[in-house]
Amino acid sequence: MRLLVLAETPQVISFAQQWAAVTGGSFVVAAPEGATADGLVALMKSEGCDSLAGASTSLGRDLLARAAGLLNLSMISDVLSVESRDGRLTLTRPMYAGNVLARVRTLGDVGVYSVRSAAFALPEPSAPEPIQIPTHTTPGCEVLSLDAPKQKRPELAQARVVVSGGRPTRDAATFEKLIGGLADALGGATGATRAAVDAEIAPNELQVGQTGKVVAPDLYIAAGVSGSIQHLAGMKDSKVIVAINTDPDAPIFEIADYGLVADIHQAIPELIGKL
């Protein structure tokens, strides 16, 4: 058995190392730059791979599902752990916004897997060097340039501290001042609820939750966040959760380790001033 790993996050390599320990197979690492589904399939063929894995990111979700279709292989998304059960490769994945954990297998133990990076540790240093994916063009589509947006903060899914803002942050400038300001004071990343994204207060790539990113930082500060089940699905595994909310009955306080019943427009500038 041989696995191709699209190494968009280092934790996917940990998944591959565990996969190899369970299956006795080997794995090849592909660099994510310029990856396309066609390119991944071509690389799998040239490297003799029968399974494919990558991170559950926007890119991974997009490419891996397409590749699974091209390969006619089963896809298991949001893998949380790998184990051997009855001598078979068995994976755990969440269902119903993380309320149920399902143990699943594919036919013949081959498949396409998207992996939740937050559920895996950083890899052992013995990981092989990544190889380049051959350039493939999608019919009818010409790539003119690829520009990565400049990040002034840590990547949301990898950050050790995440400060998230909800609807009461009101507008993009206030979000940046309060949520961005507190994140910068703590060296962390910013996140947002879907309500804040829908109201164009925060960009889509900052959304945390069931239909956004899944994070598990050491510290998660939820500011003006109600704590809907869809938001909790993306952050409930954070090690320490701090909630700031004017409503003492807000559901976020049920999972918070520390709670502050306060207005974010007053409390956050005070917090930033003290840091």
Ligand X SMILES: Cc1cc2nc3c(=O)[nH]c(=O)nc-3n(C[C@H](O)[C@H](O)[C@H](O)COP(=O)(O)OP(=O)(O)OC[C@H]3O[C@@H](n4cnc5c(N)ncnc54)[C@H](O)[C@@H]3O)c2cc1C
Provide, rounded to whole angstroms, the least separation between the CB of residue 231 and ligand X.
3
Nearer to ligand X, 3 or 202 (CB): 202
On whether the CB atoms of residues 19 and 1 are closer than 8 A, the answer is no
56 binds ligand X (CB under 6 A): no
Q: Are 148 and 38 in contact (CB under 8 A)?
A: no
CA 275 to CA 161: how far, in whole Å?
A: 14
What kind and span of H or E run contains 92? strand 88-95
Q: What is the largest CA-CA distance in the chain?
A: 59
| Sign of CA pseudo-dihedral 221, 156, 94, 103 | negative
Residue 207 lies near ligand X (rule: CB under 6 A): yes
Q: CB under 6 A: which stretch of 47-55, 58-66, 109-117, 209-217 binds ligand X?
A: 209-217
Pick one of 2, 136, 177, 265: the residue that binds ligand X (CB under 6 A): 265
Residue 264 makes contact with ligand X by CB under 6 A:
yes
- Edge-to-edge strands, sheet with 26-30: 26-30, 2-6, 51-55, 112-115, 75-79
- Out of 11, 36, 193, 238, which residue is the one contacting ligand X (CB under 6 A)? 193
Of residues 43 and 264, the one with the C-beta less far from ligand X: 264
Tokens standing for residue 187: 């060296």
- Pick the closer one to ligand X by CB: 44 or 260: 260
Residue 195 as a binder of ligand X (CB under 6 A): the answer is yes
- For ligand X, the closer CB: 93 or 213: 213
Give the residue among 36, 17, 18 at the shortest CA–CA distance from 28.
17
CB burial readout 9-39, b (16+ within 10 A) else e: bebbbbbbbbbbebbebebbbbebeebbbbb
Q: Does 168 bind ligand X (CB under 6 A)?
A: yes
Output 100 or 141, the one with its CB closest to ligand X. Answer: 100
Task: Please state, in angstroms and rounded to a whole number, the distance separating the CA atoms of residues 135 and 256.
Answer: 47
* Residue 267 Cβ vs ligand X, minimum distance, rounded to whole Å: 8
Among 212, 237, 241, 242, binds ligand X (CB under 6 A): 212
As measured in angstroms, the least distance from the Cβ of 148 to ligand X is 24
With contacts defined by CB under 6 A, how many residues of the chain interact with ligand X? 28
Site string for ligand X, 224-263 (x = CB under 6 A): xxx-x-xx--x---------xxxx--x------------x
194 binds ligand X (CB under 6 A): yes
**Ordered DSSP codes for 143-181:** -----PPPPSS--TTT-SEEEEE-GGG-SHHHHIIIIIH
In the complex, minimum distance from the CB of residue 234 to ligand X, in angstroms, rounded to a whole number: 6
Contact residues toward ligand X (CB under 6 A) are 166-168, 193-196, 207-212, 224-226, 228, 230-231, 234, 244-247, 250, 263-265
